[in-house]
Structure 1
């Protein structure tokens, strides 16, 4: 079996790392399965791309399409044109896409038009907010996908409502959590740990990048002001997404407890998250990691595509009104935040289940392993 695995943006890398490791394990066991790793180049900042390959032990991509930059349409078109040529030159039995970034949708479309099967890891998650680019990517990808590897029963239900069959839907768990559990012992303190003299459970981590929160300067200033007013005397560590950095410069944010730092590597960022008193974010993936690490999380969005982090985990959906922060922080500082639990199959073995299913779907043969003494 020949598989092409797509990675394009930062969230993808954490999801493909354990899958590649599981495939390599099966190859060592004699299974005739091979893969070609294609990096679309959607993210090209070193901390948002290269360092993830290095830290997570992902092998160098077989191809880099260098399709980063430009508008949504330009980037989508560039990925599609270059990936089409890649597949023509290197045909495969199936492509495997992960998550909900532009690369996921673009590569799925190209594969289907070339009559190649598509498997989608993290399929079926829905926010219900069509204004989010990621929601469009999810809907388009899942409308043409052949096999759906899902993270939750809720995702299964979403796909069933959209007419997918039980044979197509495979509940496997969360590969992001595979990576988290595998790498947890390797987390490393970023420079800000010493520079700000941070102590465990005595600081807040904040990430913001969604248009609703960062694109309007006045709203961004109001939001940050409210966060600083309600975090008592704790330092707030803010790794700044490139999208957010531009507007932060315009509003000249300056507060003695607010530490703006560049995007952090995976191992550095999760070192901070694991030891934080709480996380304030508008990201989806971070809410999964905080749930597994038992860290209180406040999500500044009106909807979430990961409701299990709220139903089962440590996350609460506050909405985009800054006024919601005060009561949430009161609950946190009074020790009333929910403890949470870990969702089903978020156990570190998701990639193994995915790989085993691929072997079954394609009836991959196992050859005897010859051991030379």
Structure 2
């Protein structure tokens, strides 16, 4: 049996969390050489180093160094850089994760060069084509040879788009693997103590989506809602650099920074941040991953969005979609949230199922035979 080469694509911090369990699962199998490809789409050296250390990932085997830019610039830049890499050191499989621009770019490179592509977190749909991530998800899924979904509703989305069932495998949620991989360290972390918050008596806030932070009127309405909420419960807010810039330039930063019940923090490592999350009474967010993690942990989640590509967190979890004007009222109703068992296959063993699926598919295609 010959070894095959697998490229794991990472572009942004959530990607590191998703590839980490899979990297550790693949590096221990005899039939695979696994490489971490870092595109550099979102890059902060300090946070990059911290996240790789948290998840015990190696330095990237390939760094494209694309950096920030418009959607077109990022997509084209990753395509050019990754194609050059593939032409000089061709992988057998490209595994893309999530829905960032690099996810689509690398899938396009693989499809055009005849390299097998697998998409982890396939089938998620918000049905909102104004979201760049939705475009990336739909196109990546149409290109990929193997689609690994987190839940059965994602399977249904893919079949509704005409994708044959033999390309779809439900493997569960890789973000839960990432959490369980570091659960002991998360529970032992002292972030709550460091910032002086008492378990179950504070809310965690994250905010970064352009629809919330780039529109001055929307951002102002969110800040007004936070000021009301802070009268009821303290808020801990690790501030995304882009969000901080918008708050400062819109003149809203001082309102938050002078409120004694709102704690503004620099971005945290995954372990530090999740120590805050597991002790929170609620999470307020516009993130995708936090909707999943709070569903798994049974923590009330208020999502500042009109839609979600993870509707299973609404039907089987503790997540609710809210607008800024409704947010203070929703915080008052936290006692109404019911904790339910997590969705099927959200059990910390997704990476194992992915490895098994990859081996089976490669074996069927004759890629593992001499």
Please indicate, yes or no, whether the TM-score normalized by the shorter chain is above 0.5.
yes
Q: From 2, 5, 14, give the equivalent of 2:5.
A: 2
Deviations 1:166-193 (A, max 9, x none): 11000100111101111111116466x3
Partner of 2:359: 359
Tell me which residue corresponds to 1:101: 100
| Structure 2 gap segments, 5+ residues each | none
Give 3-state SS (helix, strand or coil) of 2:28's partner.
Answer: helix
1:342 aligns with 2:348: no
Q: Deviation per CA, 1:85-133, whole angstroms, max 9, x where unpaired?
A: 0101111211010010111011111111111111000001000111111
* Equivalent runs, 1:199-278 vs 2, <5 Å: 199-250=198-249, 251-253=251-253, 254=255, 255-278=259-282
- The correspondence for 1:298, drawn from 297, 302, 305, is 302
CA root-mean-square deviation: 1.7
Deviation of the 1:2 alpha carbon = 1.6
| Structure 2 CA distance for aligned equivalents of residues 65 and 242 of structure 1 | 23
Cα distance in 2 for partners of 1:311, 1:151 equals 15
Partners of 1:294 and 1:83 in 2: how far apart? Answer: 39
Q: Which deviates the most, 151-160 or 355-364?
A: 355-364
Structure 1 residue runs without a partner (length 5+):
368-373
Structure 1 position 325 matched with structure 2 position 324: no
Q: What is the distance in 2 between the residues matched to 1:170 and 1:232?
A: 47
What is the number of residues matched between the two proteins? 358
How far the C-alpha of 1:326 sits from its partner, in A, is: 2.8
Structure 2 residue corresponding to 1:12, chosen from 8, 12, 15: 15
Distance in structure 2 (CA, Å) of the matches to 1:233 and 1:87: 54
Quick one: which of 275, 281, 284 aligns to 2:288? 284
Q: Is 2:162 the partner of 1:163?
A: yes
Question: Does the 8 Å CA contact 1:281/1:297 hold for their aligned counterparts?
Answer: yes
Q: Does 1:23 align with 2:26?
A: yes
| Residue 315 (structure 1) aligned with residue 319 (structure 2) | yes
8 A Cα contact 1:189 1:272, kept in partner: no
Deviation string 1:17-74 (CA, Å, 9 cap, x unpaired) is 11111112223xxxx2112211101121135422111110111111100011222211
Separation in structure 2 between the aligned mates of residue 171 and residue 329 of structure 1, nearest angstrom: 34
Instruction: Report deviation, 1:339.
Output: 1.4
Deviations 1:107-164 (A, max 9, x none): 1111111111110000010001111111111011111111100001000000001111
1:297/1:71 CA distance change after superposition, 3 Å = same
Farther off after superposition, 37-46 or 249-258: 249-258
> How many Å separate the matches in 1 of 2:137 and 2:331?
32
Q: Aligned ranges for residues 118-137 of structure 1 at < 5 Å? A: 118-137=117-136
Larger mean CA deviation between 34-43 and 226-235 belongs to 226-235
Secondary structure, aligned partner of 2:27: helix
Q: Structure 1: how far apart are the matches of 2:184 and 2:193? A: 19
TM-score (norm 2): 0.93
Q: What TM-score does the superposition give when structure 1 sets the normalisation length?
A: 0.92
Answer whether contact 2:223 2:252 (CA < 8 A) is retained: no
State the distance in 1 between where 2:42 and 2:283 align.
24
